[in-house]
Chains A and B, each alone.
Chain A
Amino acid sequence: MAQAPETYRAGAIVVEAPWSRATPGGAKVGSGYMRIMNTGSEPDRLVGGSTVVAERFEVHRSTVVDGVARMEPVTGGLEIGPGQTVELKPGALHAMLVNLRQGLNPGDTVKGMLIFEKAGVLKIEYRVGGIGAQAAPAAANVHQGH
């Protein structure tokens, strides 16, 4: 049975299908992906966040241009214009979970928070897919731990 992706809402901000990738053994960094929609009429900004598994939450843009892999931190917050959808996805904008306290395994869920300038704090849960996953893992049929 196909299930709609999880959505989380705070004010005009809607966050859809947050997910992460399993990490290789000993890895100290993980990633976070999601779609962020601004349904309001004013711009908002993702200014910070946290997860229970990592020390820090940073937003980066990874690029591979002319064969060189780079990561640029997004400074001053990630702007989401009115009516705009910003997607955090592999190979592009992503949240970086820095200094992981534990590895992430496929099927795990990770609790976290996003902080928006106007919409405020939004509690979300990431679903963890495989190491090389390119898209959010299918939502589980059974919701556990509620």
Chain B
Amino acid sequence: MSSALKIIRWVAFALIAVLLLQIGFFAWHWYRGETSASRFAQPVITTTGVPDVGGPFSLVNHRGERVTQDTFKGKPTVYFFGFTHCPEVCPTTLFEMSQHLKDLGPDADRLNVVFVTVDPERDTPELLKTYMESFDPRIAALTGSPEEVTAAAKAFRVAYRKVPTEGGNYTMEHSASVIVTDAQGGFVSLIDYHEDKATALAKLKRAIRG
């Protein structure tokens, strides 16, 4: 009989204890909520204000060496995508980039310039090696398996597609902008195909200055 009363007393104590803990818990939360209302009232937005352009890739350069995004870290890097069966835009961009490197003088060595093909079926490392002999030797040309190229283009938000032409040939449609990253591979700016030489050069200089 007395043991039953003991149990009831202990259960009552336990219930009161739990209730007190809960009150304390809610009070604490209410207090926190009042003092830092903004923290709880709004979703937390994390943005650096920098577009998410650039990312991991693994490709082969025109000397047949495997390269990744880490190969180009340590210097600001200029990336652009194209293909060699391209009569106008791609040789023009490569030519202009060679001119920019010349104009930059010794500063050109503080910059990586990387051309990535969107046509890996035709643009083998061997073909790229011959092709790149017509441009500044500091420009690296990258290719890879179709899957590797797709992944690299995706990382840089570059769209491309194959378009059939006469006689069973095909051409490529592709984003023609030049992407400038900092020494850590973070996005800095874009150079549009139509931008004049002075503006483009100014963007490269700014990237070099960091």
A residues with CB within 8 A of B: 21-31, 56, 58, 60, 62, 64, 67-71, 73, 90-91, 94, 96-98, 130-132
Contact = CB atoms under 8 A, between A and B. Distances in A.
A71 B193 contact: no
Contact of B91 (A56, A64, A68, A131): A131
Interface of B: 82, 84-89, 91-92, 94-96, 99, 122, 127, 130-135, 159, 163, 165-167, 169, 171, 173-177, 190, 192-194
Given A71-B171, A94-B88, A26 B176 contact: no
B87 A96 contact: yes
A130 B134 CA distance: 11
B-side interface mostly: mixed
A91 B175 contact: no
A137 to B, nearest CB: 15
A58 B164 CA distance: 14
A56 B84 contact: no
A27 B131 contact: yes
Contacts of A28: 84-85, 122
A91 B163 CA distance: 19
B95 A131 contact: yes
A24 B132 CA distance: 7
Contact of A67 (B95, B127, B163, B177): B177
A99 B132 CA distance: 19
A91 B88 contact: yes
B176 A67 contact: yes
A21 B84 CA distance: 14
A132 B96 contact: yes
Contacts of A58: 165-166
Nearest to B171: A71
A68 B87 contact: no
Contact of A25 (B87, B133, B165): B133
Contacts of B127: 26
A94 B176 CA distance: 18
A97 B134 CA distance: 19
Contacts of B173: 68-71
B174 A24 contact: no
Contacts of A29: 85-87
Contact of A26 (B131, B165, B192): B131
A67 B84 CA distance: 18
Nearest to B92: A132
A116 B209 CA distance: 55
Nearest to B133: A25
Given A56-B166, A132-B91, A25 B174 contact: no
A24 B84 contact: yes
Interface centre among A56, A90, A97, A132 (most CB of B within 10 A): A132
Contacts of A64: 89, 176, 193-194
A96 B170 CA distance: 13
A16 to B, nearest CB: 20
A31 B87 contact: yes
A90 B176 contact: no
Given A31-B87, A67-B193, A90-B92, A25 B130 contact: yes
Nearest to B89: A69
